[in-house]
A = this chain, B = another copy of it.
Amino acid sequence: MTQPEMTFAGSPLDRADALRSDAQALAALQAQGGRLLALQGLEPVVDGGLVWQSLDAAPEGAELIFLGLDAEGQGHFVAAPRPEDASTAPASFDLWSALSGLSHQEVAIYGAARALAGWHGRHRFCARCGSPTRIAKGGWQRDCISEACATPHFPRTDPVVIMTVEHEGRLLLGRQPRFPAGRYSALAGFIEPGETFEEAVAREIREEAGVTVRDVRYVASQPWPFPSSLMIAGHAYADDPALNIDTNELEDARWFTREQVAEAMEARARGEDGVAFSAPSPRAIAWHLLDRWLRAA
């Protein structure tokens, strides 16, 4: 099986950040055939690919977010949604079905647009003073309209640790209640204020599985726009495999042998569930963690 690329990475657009502060340049890009990403709420409209419209298709008064330039220098935009359309729900089956009709690069463009548009829809007001906010810097900022406050706000990106743990050739995986039947995957949790990546990995595994780890190392990262995560994946080692599962977080956690993981990943490549467990989707960075662990053997 060819190694899949990291889903939501690899956007071909040039973010052209210098243009964000240049209102004239942005207006010129909009006048010169700027393209508007068609969304329904935050879901993509797919018709053999992403659908791009003329900027005239934006609702009257819509705030236009500058996504970047394509290779021809054409500006790509998305409209800030209404608050009720800025869902923070996880990706649905229907969304994954829609994305399966897109190229890798289109999925990346859509992911960035979804994260950014959703943030605008959920940040119409100033968290500091409660006044309305308005779009600034081509959508990479919102400013409080109160002159006394005038606080600038920036899009959120929430770092999440996700990690596999190894003990004597076996891998620790867990399942959350919301997972499909039989699915086991890498443990995960948000990085909190005041901790490093490595500390967050160790804390989450201790909290969720009662396991102490050492030698945490970084593996890879992935943007995950549900609603605005950055998945930072790691691998760690445990000397003691005894589990003490936090059943508020996990339905179960188990150590799987290399053979079990390999079989489940082979089954996944055929679109099937494995014997010992159902492996994560290749869209998720958890898949890459399992894949790299098998390859490193």
Contacts and interface: CB of A to CB of B under 8 A. Distances in A.
Interface of A: 6, 8-11, 15, 17-18, 83, 108-109, 111-113, 115-116, 119, 122-133, 140, 151, 153-159, 190-199, 203, 207, 218, 220-223, 225, 228, 230, 232, 246, 248
A193 B8 CA distance: 10
B128 A195 contact: no
A196 B9 contact: yes
Given A157-B191, A196-B222, 17 more contacts: A17-B207, A109-B194, A112-B193, A112-B195, A126-B127, A130-B132, A155-B192, A156-B156, A156-B158, A157-B158, A159-B159, A159-B232, A191-B230, A193-B225, A193-B228, A195-B223, A197-B230
A211 to B, nearest CB: 16
Contacts of A116: 193-194
The number of times this chain is found in the oligomer is 2
Contacts of A123: 127-128
A127 B124 contact: yes
8 contacts: A15-B203, A111-B194, A123-B128, A155-B193, A157-B159, A157-B190, A194-B225, A197-B232
